[in-house]
Amino acid sequence: MKALLMDVGNSRLKWGISENGEIRRTGQISHQKIREQGLHELVSKLPHAVDQVFASNVAGASFATRLSGIIGMHCGREVHFAKTVHEACGVTNSYKQPRRMGVDRWVAMIGAWVEVKRACAVVDVGTAATIDVIDAGGAHLGGQILPGVALMASALSSETSNIPRVRRRRTISAAGMDMFGRNTTSAVECGALNAVVGAIDRVMVTLRANGHDPVLILTGGDASSILSLLAEAPLHRPHLVLYGLLHLLESRQ
C-alpha cells in the first residue's frame, strides 16, 4: 500500500509518501506560498498514484474542503482526516472531550509512543509550542500550550510601542552568556527562545521529581533552534506527525 500522508499545520503543510512501513519523499510548503500561488503549487509536487490519503489538519474546515477537492482531482482518492479519540495505538487521552484536543497533538503523541513505548514528553515547537506528557503505561497526563518563538516575538511588537518587529532568524546563539541580548532585537529573540526552552526544562524536572523517567521527543519547525539549548538531549523527530498518521493507518488494516 502506498499512502500520501499530510500534516497540515498553522504555518505550513508537510507531506510524505509511505511504503512498507517507511516514509519517503517528504516535502513541505508554507501557507503563505499557497495563498500566493494556489494549491496547484502543492499538487505539482505530489504523485498521482497512491492508494490512500490520510491527513492531520489544524488549518480549519474551509482549507480541508479545498484540499480534499484538489487532492481528489489529482490522485483520484478521497482525503481521510484523522480525529482525536479516547484511545488509539496504546495511548489513552486525558481529555473528557477528546475532540477538543488539537489533532496534531494527538497524532504526534501516537508517533512518539509507538517508537519509545515509555514515559515521554512530546514537544512540538511551531506557531504554538505544545508539550504533552505520557506515562509509562501510555496514559496522557496532560499538556501545556504556549506561544511559539516567532509568535512570542510578534506579540511584543504588536502590544508595545517601543519594541520593533523582529524578523525571525533561523540561526541565533542563545547558549551560555549569549542568552543576554545586547540590543533590543536580540533581547527579544533570546527571550522568546529562553521562554520556550525554560518551559520544556521545567516540565522534565517536574516529571522526574514526581517519579517519572521520561524521554524528551522534539518536533516542529523551530525544533532545530532549541536543540542545543535544552538541559538534556532530546530525540529530534521532524516528521513525528507523519509517523503518527502512518501508525494510525496501519492500526486500521
- How far apart, in Å, are the Cα atoms of 155 and each of 1, 141, 192, 193? 45, 29, 10, 14
Which residues are part of the catalytic machinery? 104
Contacting residues for 227 by C-beta, under 8 A, at least 6 apart? 218, 233, 234, 236
d(CA 18, CA 27): 13
- Residue for cell digits 509518501? 17
What is the H or E stretch that residue 116 is in? helix 103-116
Exposure of 176 in the CB half-sphere (CA atoms within 13 A) = 1
